[in-house]
Amino acid sequence: MSITLEKLTKRYGPTLAVDGLDLAVRPGRVTGFLGPNGAGKSTTMRMVLGLDRPTSGRALVGGRAYDSYKWPLREMGALLEAKAVHPGRTGRNHLLAMARSNAVPDRRVDEVLAVVGLTDVARRRSGTHSLGMGQRLGIAGALLADPPVLMLDEPVNGLDPDGVRWIRGLLRDLAAEGRTVFVSSHLLSEMQMTADHLVVIGHGKLLADAPMTEIMGGHATLEDAYYELTGSAA
């Protein structure tokens, strides 16, 4: 199952945040989503989720609008940067509510809590969670319904080195299982180790959509290749 963007465009007043993106994010590999601050990555992901309406064009998951699915969490799991979890709710109750809304069995909540390493703290109110624990809870939510597509906005944000390494392994494993994994990050060295394929945007426009090996070309690091692509001065 793929994520496809068809001439996807979003305008906020005078700002063209996303400018005619045509793209297919394919299964079986980790696709990194890169671009400078304000390039339009989060806006694109919000439109894929149906949280923001395109000015024109379409964003589809498995050939359909994400919000047209009866149980969307079973099609795609997502983590957005500012994950809204009620601070007075425990992590476990948050996941239980998500599970029930998509007819996912309760026992799956404890399974994903174990996968993300939150079993011991899941009965604490989420307001007491560290940034890294919040990220892990968001990832647990994305994995909850065992979806074929995962879309994660800056998942390593706030994670310690063990957490960063864990995410890398998790994303690689999910792609190896044949899932579609679409992940944004500003950490280029981490992306170099994690992604098979890269999509790079700047000012809302597609700058590259190519395998990591092709993007790296003769460059020693992804950072060098990225600066050449985006024109950002090193």
Ligand X SMILES: Nc1ncnc2c1ncn2[C@@H]1O[C@H](COP(=O)(O)OP(=O)(O)OP(=O)(O)O)[C@@H](O)[C@H]1O
**Residues lying near ligand X in the complex (CB under 6 A):** 12, 15, 17, 35, 37-43
Instruction: CB nearer to ligand X: give 47 or 145.
Output: 47
Q: What are phi and psi of 22, to 5 degrees?
A: -120, 125
Sign of CA dihedral 66, 171, 110, 87: negative
Tell the smallest beta-carbon distance from residue 134 to ligand X (Å).
17
Q: Which is nearer to ligand X, 19 or 75 (CB)?
A: 19
CB closer to ligand X, 19 vs 145 = 19
Report, in Å, the least distance between residue 10 CB and ligand X. 7
CB of 33 to ligand X, least distance (A): 9
The residue among 38 and 217 lying less far from ligand X, judged by its C-beta, is 38
CA distance 110 to 232: 44
Q: Tell me the two tokens of residue 117.
A: 């390493």
Nearer to ligand X, 141 or 204 (CB): 204
DSSP secondary structure string for all residues of 74-125: GTEEEE-SS----TTSBHHHHHHHHHHHTT--THHHHHHHHHTT-TTTTTSB
* Three-class DSSP category at 132: helix
Q: Which is nearer to ligand X, 35 or 138 (CB)?
A: 35
Q: How far is the CB of 126 from ligand X (least distance, A)?
A: 23
- Closest CB to ligand X among 37 and 213? 37
CA 33/CA 188 separation, integer angstroms: 11
Q: Shortest distance, CB of residue 25 to ligand X, whole angstroms?
A: 16
Least separation in angstroms between CB 93 and ligand X: 29
Quick count: other Cβ atoms within 10 Å of Cβ 107?
A: 8
Q: Quickly tell me which residue has 């992804």 as its tokens.
A: 222
DSSP 61: E
Rounded to a whole number of angstroms, the minimum distance from the CB of residue 64 to ligand X is 23
Q: Which H or E element spans position 213? A: helix 212-216
User: On the CB side of 24, how many CA atoms lie within 13 Å of its CA?
Assistant: 7
